[in-house]
A and B are shown apart, each in its own frame.
Chain A
Amino acid sequence: MSSVTTIKDRQSDLPVHATGGWRGEFRRSLPGYLFLLPWLVGFFALTLGPTLASLYLSFTDYDLLTPPRWAGLKNYDYAFVHDARLRSAVWVTLKYVLWSVPLKLSVALGLAMVLDRSVRGVGFYRATFYLPSLLGASVAVAVLWRQIFGANGLVNQLLLLTTGLKGISWVSHPDYALWTLIALAVWQFGSPMIIFLAGLRQIPQDLYEAASMDGASGWRQFWRITLPLLAPVIFFNLVFQMIEGFKAFTQAFIISGGEGGPIDSTLFYSLYLYIEAFANFRMGYASALAWLLLIIIAIFTAIAFASSKYWVYYEDEAR
């Protein structure tokens, strides 16, 4: 995690007294810890306990209605060796992340760039692009999506009108149902778009002016000015959307009716976890699944952070 090591190395922010040893370290660290205090309290009081409890539960048989019974590595063994449904859930989730994250970010960035200019009515456009994200994961979305992608839905009606072809029911067909969920994710690109907008606003205008005066084209300006200066924000959106993509649950839950169908084609990892925990009374197994997911996400995040060394430059690093 190079970005963080760089934070650690910079020494020039506070006056450093000449004391060495742990006392000096204590003095230097004190302001940091004072600022960190709310988070530390929250972490130790509210997060650490339940997190460790869930780790403990992953080694037990726990049906929620009776106290947990120690089961050793049984859950993990089952997950790795016997659980075919888990493998399919991992594959579905991976597919979802690999497609929806780049698509969502591209659309978000593209539209943010278009909206960064003073087009007439830009406030209106910004607001309407954000509207779908406001719907979040409400029940209405599930009904909506089935109406649009269902057998007699809007998509099929348009298809019939324009090409005369009779479409299948996309949202309930095992080959296409996942794609309707990817479309849903991309449709709700409002959040990353807003973040991109905020990031674009931080780029000083005079850089573009100077580049224009030097005769640089719009495309060159994008590559040479926008992208590099936006890199920390792109990185942030990438990491966050990826993490959220792996944990995705509600949309799959409400659109598939809670089952991940048809034929488990929309059985997201978190949905499978939820079913095991609350429908099959296997909370111990579900906890093991959760920790396995954490490891998967951590690996991907670590890869992202490691790669950031090569393409993300921060304002506050030595040039």
Chain B
Amino acid sequence: MTLKMNRRNFGHFAVGTSAAAFLAATGTTADAATALRLIWWGNPDRDKRTNAVVDLYKKSAGADIAPESYPWDNYWAKLATQAAGKNLPDLIQMDYRYIFEYARRSQLAVLDGFIGKELQLADFDKNQLDSGKVDNKLYGVSLGANSMSHVYNKTVLDGIGVKLPDSTKWTTAEWVALGNEMKAKLPAGVFFTQNMAFLEPRLQTWLRSLGRDLYTADGKIAYELGDLVSYFEFWKMMQDTGLTPPADVQALDSNKLEDSMIVTKHSVFNFLNSNQLVALQKLIENEVDLVMIPGNGPKAGQYLKPSMFMSIAENSADKPAAAKLLNYFVNDQAANDILQIERGVTGSASVRDHILGALNPTEQKIIKYLGVVATRVSPLPPPPPKGAGELERALRPAWESVAFGRAKVEDAAKAYYDNAIAVLARG
């Protein structure tokens, strides 16, 4: 296939294309100038639901909305870049880890002034509402609650004939005993549980069941080195006795559901945030269900946490209009018929009751689970300090050096602990 292109043709082609390109390029700027901008991270399912709600709102309120969505991996880079240019969208979906950074640096608008007016939050769950407060001012409205859990492969357990005890009360020792009992009966290559050592939320429930936590309210470390050492030692024992997959297999888990040990048929138990159950079930043929995390102390380790928030940008040109849209998201029944519990179980009691009937069996499992969890929770932890995100990620290489036999438990724990204190002090 020869391309007939001598220089003259190319010259004409070049001029024509350049002109067309310019026209196309400038075209898009015109329309979206005055619309309200909404940004969220998500997946195709959440996008479809959110866009449907946006369309509903456009019809009912006659307003113009410009929605944008990005994958989680790229969301924060895009948001930070826009923040640097003071060009944040009006409505921002926020995460628990980042809301404090953004709020304390005055990038988010205070919402207290809209409560009772554009924002009707009277029947909102108080705990969930408080979770969006930074320094006692409301910066984000929770879009749904979830809690940590252990998810397990029900089909496999039923096949072996194992029945789980009451998970609100069970201890780590009981859980490990169950694992040892099951070990011989599992198929080759399948282990009892994923290794959860590198998951900070798991460490958090461990500490909280002992009455401690990760961080204090004034941003210092709230546990002792000894706690971390015994935590790592526990998981090393689990790995060495064959209750978890070997280090290299476990390292395949890149925090994406599809790479998790339960999906890749390497484990029966896995750590999961409750609102991810639906997505997880789609990736596995066997049936999965949720139980609470075993405690290794007398106190309740878990808490109900906000899955994500909706906030308003401080640089928004029309905050009342943004607040109205926010209100629509959390309170409107027709909107929530579409959104359902994809982002978590909503804090508004009336909406919750309204959508209950339309949920599928997997979704109902989530609601049932949260009901169980609510009977044994401890209060919400204080807001994470600056650097908490970095420390959460740093737990993984620290654990992996133990898992791969590169470092002793005491050394790795001490290195992490000292680094944590330094990072928190660096501020």
Contact = CB atoms under 8 A, between A and B. Distances in A.
Whether chain A touches chain B in the assembled complex (some CB pair under 8 Å): yes
Interface of A: 63-66, 146, 150-152, 168-169, 171-174, 253, 256-259, 261-264, 274, 278-281
Interface string B77-89: 1001101100000
B26 interface: no
Interface in B232-287: 247-252, 254-256, 259, 264, 266
Nearest to B73: A258
Interface in B51-107: 73, 76-77, 80-81, 83-84, 101-102, 105-107
Interface stretch (B137-145, B220-228, B358-366, B393-401): B393-401
Nearest to B249: A151
B46 to A, nearest CB: 17
B101 A281 contact: yes
Given A65-B102, A65-B107, A263-B400, A172 B252 contact: yes
26 contacts: A63-B105, A64-B80, A64-B81, A64-B83, A65-B83, A65-B107, A66-B106, A146-B254, A151-B266, A168-B248, A169-B249, A169-B251, A171-B252, A173-B248, A174-B400, A174-B404, A257-B255, A259-B393, A261-B396, A261-B400, A262-B248, A262-B396, A263-B406, A274-B77, A279-B76, A280-B390
A169 B401 CA distance: 16
B389 interface: yes
B252 A263 contact: no
A257 B81 CA distance: 21
Given A174-B400, A263-B401, A256 B254 contact: yes
B252 A279 contact: no
Contacts of A173: 247-248, 251, 404
Given A65-B83, A173-B247, A278-B80, 5 more contacts: A146-B254, A169-B251, A173-B404, A262-B248, A263-B400
Contacts of A150: 252
Contacts of B252: 146, 150-151, 169, 171-172
Contact of B256 (A169, A257, A274): A257
- Give 10 closest A-B pairs by Cβ, nearest first: A257-B254, A172-B251, A65-B105, A169-B248, A173-B248, A278-B77, A262-B251, A64-B80, A172-B252, A64-B84
Contacts of A168: 248
Interface residues of B, number: 34
Contacts of B81: 64
Interface SS, B side: helix
A175 to B, nearest CB: 9
A280 B397 CA distance: 16
Given A65-B105, A152-B264, A263 B77 contact: no
A281 B98 CA distance: 11
Contacts of A171: 252
SS of A interface (majority): loop
Nearest to B71: A139
A181 B234 CA distance: 33
Nearest to A280: B390
Q: Which of A152, A256, A281 has the most CB of B within 10 A?
A: A281
Nearest to B393: A259
B247 to A, nearest CB: 8
A150 B245 CA distance: 14
A171 B264 CA distance: 15
A278 B404 CA distance: 29
Interface string B1-12: 000000000000
Nearest to A172: B251
Contacts of A262: 248, 251, 396-397, 400, 404
A171 B266 CA distance: 16
Contacts of B80: 64-65, 278, 281
Nearest to A143: B258
B248 A151 contact: yes
A174 B390 CA distance: 21
Nearest to B387: A280
Contacts of B250: 172
Given A152-B264, A172-B252, A262-B404, A65 B389 contact: no
A64 B406 CA distance: 36
Contacts of B264: 151-152
Contact of A279 (B84, B102, B389): B389
B260 to A, nearest CB: 12
Nearest to B76: A278
Contacts of B396: 259, 261-262
Contacts of B107: 65
Query: A168, A256, A261 — which one has the most chain B CB atoms within 10 A of its CB?
Result: A261
Contacts of B266: 151
B239 to A, nearest CB: 14
A274 B80 CA distance: 12
A173 B249 CA distance: 8
A154 to B, nearest CB: 14
B397 A263 contact: yes
Contacts of B76: 278-279
A171 B250 CA distance: 11
